Every structure is written in C-alpha cells, then in structure tokens.
Amino acid sequence: MDFDFDAVIDRRRTNCTKWDMMERYFGASSENDLAMWVADMDFLPPPAVNATLQKMIDHGIHGYFGDDTAYRSASVNWMDQRHDWRVEPDAISTVNGLVHGIGLCLDAYTAPDDEIIIFTPVYHAFSARIQACGRKVVEAPLVLRDGMFHLDLETLESRLSGRERMLIFCSPHNPGGRVWSVAEFASIAHFCERHDLILLSDEVHHDLVFEGFSHTPMVNAAPKQIDRIVMLSAASKTFNLAGGETGQVIIPNADLRHKFEASNKAFGSTPNRFGPMMSTAAYAHGAPWLDALLRYLDGNRAAVEDGLNEIPGVSVMPMGATYLSWIEFSGTGMNQDEIRERVQNRAGVVCNYGPTFGTGGETCLRLNFATPRSRVAEAVTRIQDAFSDLQ
C-alpha cells in the first residue's frame, strides 16, 4: 500500500502548536518561515485512525470514555510483535500524555528537593517537569565520541550527593536519535540498583528506528532482578497522534504500580475518548504505514545530513532513530545568538534552540525533518544560503 508523505498539507490556522504558535514562541512568521521544531509530523496518520474518528463523529456523542479492553489488547500486541516485549495488560496505566506521566511519577516516587538525574542534552520537558514539581535537576552531560553521544557513568558516580531518587533515561535519545546498546541499558540498570534509584525509561520514540538499528526495551535488556523500572511509551510519536494526549506508563513491579496509581487517582486523571481510540486503531492497523514512514524519514535524514554537513563547521549527529536531528555549529565559531540570527532570521527555518536541552546544547539546534521532502530540501537550501559566506 502506498502512502503519500510527499503531500504538502497546510496546517496553518488549525490551532496546531507547530505552525500556529511559531510567532508567539519564536517571533517567526507562519506565512514565510518553515516550522521544523516541536516533535510532531506534517503527515496524515494511518488511514485507520481517521476512519475511527469518522465513525465517532458519525455517531456524534462524545461522552466519557469507558471500556479500554481493546486499547490494552492492541497495545500489548504491538509491544509483543514490534518489540518482543511481553506486557501484562494490567501493568499499563493510561495518562494524558507522557509529560503528565512524568509528573505523576515524580509525585509517586520522589519528594520535594529530591534529586533527579537526566543525561543532557535531552528533551527539555524532563528538566521543566522536575523543576515544576519542586525537585532538583542533576545534569549528567553526555560525552561526544565519534560525533555520537555516550554515557559517562563514572563521572556521574563520582559526583553523587546521596539525595538522588530517580533517573530519567531517554531511549532512543531525543535529540540526536542515539539508539542505545544492550550493554548501555544494563549499565544504567545496574547504576540505578547500586544507588537505589527508580529508573524511568522514556521510550516514546521506540518505533522510529531506521533500518540497520535495533531498539531494545529497557525491561528486556536489564537483568531480571532489577525490578525498579517504569516504562513510558505511546502511539503518539509513532503515528503522529500527539494531540490525542495519551501515553502509557507501564510498570511491571506491582508495588511501584500501586504507588503510581495512587498518584494518578489523587489527581483524578482519566483518559479522554479520542487518544485511546486513535491509538487502538493505529496499533491494530498502522504497521504498513509505519514501515513506509520509516523509509521516507530515512530519506529525509539523508537529505539533512548530506546538505548541512556541506557547510564548513556544521555537523549533523549521525542518527539511528527519531526525526529530530541534532546540528552542531561549534565549528563555525559562532555563538547561539549568531546561529539563531542566521538559521531563524536569515534562512527562516524555525528549529528548537540547543540550550533548551541543557548542558551540551550551547552551540546546537534541533531540527525536525518529519515533513514532506520538498520542504526538507527547501530548508536545507535556505540554511546553506544563510552560511554561504563560509564556503
């Protein structure tokens, strides 16, 4: 079956974040500038998703969501078939998006002023949520080797205060799309066991892995006795359903699950109708769409890498997953203001600013290439032109 990822669909004036909030957040023009920032895609989801929504609209009544058996079962089948991961249906708690799920985990497992470890540069909502919950961020900077991110647990270990309670891991990594190895998973799991930390493994990008790379769920990679893992997953990134605000917190350990559920209950969170219904349809029928999407995204990845690596002093991190490329400008000698001036103001390409992701992002931008190839090509040309004096 063919899916038309080349179709350019105008998303402006649809109340979307990516295009309609560019002006407010970045001072950019949604008429002329290209939105290549927040992590959603400019593609239609698998056809079964909109068919499901159409059925809901045809029926027309949008009361409370109830029976989630089909949703759990579609999720369990997906994890089994795509990830060789056996999930107990009862181990799944549904949350209103994973940022919400992270907040609930912080509430369930940590107390004010506790310290939470994150590997920077990393998805900015981790530190935002930790701080908003009155906990402290402990940055463990990733180190660069061969242009790729690597963990440095030795340095982290030497700096521990003893007040750390949780570690949030991003796998595959956002930004930059690093697919971690089984050995790296095991080292993280052992680290958490040694220091009595809850291990939150955010694997929302787990389906967006390119050919030649393979993602392993943390629970499969960690030694069985390390039973302190909370898995975060969702259909949202995979199938472009982020507006459904639906995520899964999957907790194999019953005690940890009950603690989490107590927080979930305390805040009265219940899923909306649309997210679980869309996710069910996508998990049940979306595999061919996803396979086609991955081939398309891989082509976009190559276009970004080939095009931007031509600019002297600019390098795109080689990536195995996600559509969120990490572009390092340090070789140009420019600081973040100069980089923004060129990429955003001259080229008119709106990316996420590197420093938002924490230490290590000072001279970087994150560029979202999940958009039709013609737009990726235009963005690459515009950025090349904005640095043409360096050629």
Ligand X SMILES: Cc1ncc(COP(=O)(O)O)c(C=O)c1O
Residue whose CB is less far from ligand X, 97 or 354: 97
Which CB sits closer to ligand X, 202 or 207? Answer: 202
* Beta carbon of residue 174, minimum distance to ligand X (angstroms, whole number): 4
d(CA 277, CA 186): 35
- Cβ closer to ligand X: 250 or 386? 250
Closest CB 330 distance from ligand X, rounded Å: 24
Residue placing its CB nearer to ligand X in the complex, 231 or 386: 231
Q: Contact residues for ligand X (CB under 6 A)?
A: 39, 97-99, 123, 170, 174, 202, 204, 234, 236, 242, 247
* Rounded least distance, CB 352 to ligand X, Å: 10
Give the residue closest to ligand X by C-beta. Answer: 97
Q: Which is nearer to ligand X, 279 or 363 (CB)?
A: 279
Strands 247-250 and 92-95: antiparallel
Cβ neighbours of residue 18 under 8 Å, at least 6 residues apart? Answer: 11, 35, 37, 38, 40, 42
CB of 333 to ligand X, least distance (A): 30
User: How far apart are CB 387 and ligand X at their closest, in Å?
Assistant: 27
* Residue with smaller CB distance to ligand X, 235 or 314: 235
Q: Using CB atoms within 10 Å of the CB of residue 299, give its burial: 0 to 12 exposed, 13 to 18 middle, 19+ buried.
A: middle
Query: Nearer Cβ to ligand X, position 97 or 358?
Result: 97
Task: Find out whether 327 and 316 touch, Cβ atoms under 8 Å.
Answer: yes
The residues that bridge with 92 in the sheet, in sequence order, are 250
Q: Which residues of 2-38 are buried (b: 16+ CB within 10 A; e: fewer)?
A: ebebeeeeebeeeebbbbebbeeebebebeebbbbbb
Q: Are 87 and 76 spatial neighbours (Cβ–Cβ below 8 Å)?
A: yes
Q: What is the largest CA-CA distance in the chain?
A: 61
The H or E element spanning position 129 is helix 125-132
Which two structure tokens, joined as six digits, stand for 307? 């095009």
Q: Closest approach of Cβ 318 to ligand X, in Å?
A: 19
Find tokens 């647990």 and name the residue: 153
| Region of residue 350 (left: phi > 0; alpha: psi -120 to 50; beta: else) | beta
Shortest distance (Å) from residue 182 CB to ligand X: 20
Residue with tokens 């996710």: 279
**Least Å distance between CB 234 and ligand X?**
5
Instruction: Considering the complex, state which of residue 85 and residue 387 has its C-beta at the smaller distance from ligand X.
Output: 85
CA nearest neighbour of 199 among 175, 218, 225, 178: 218
- DSSP β-bridge partners for residue 367: 325
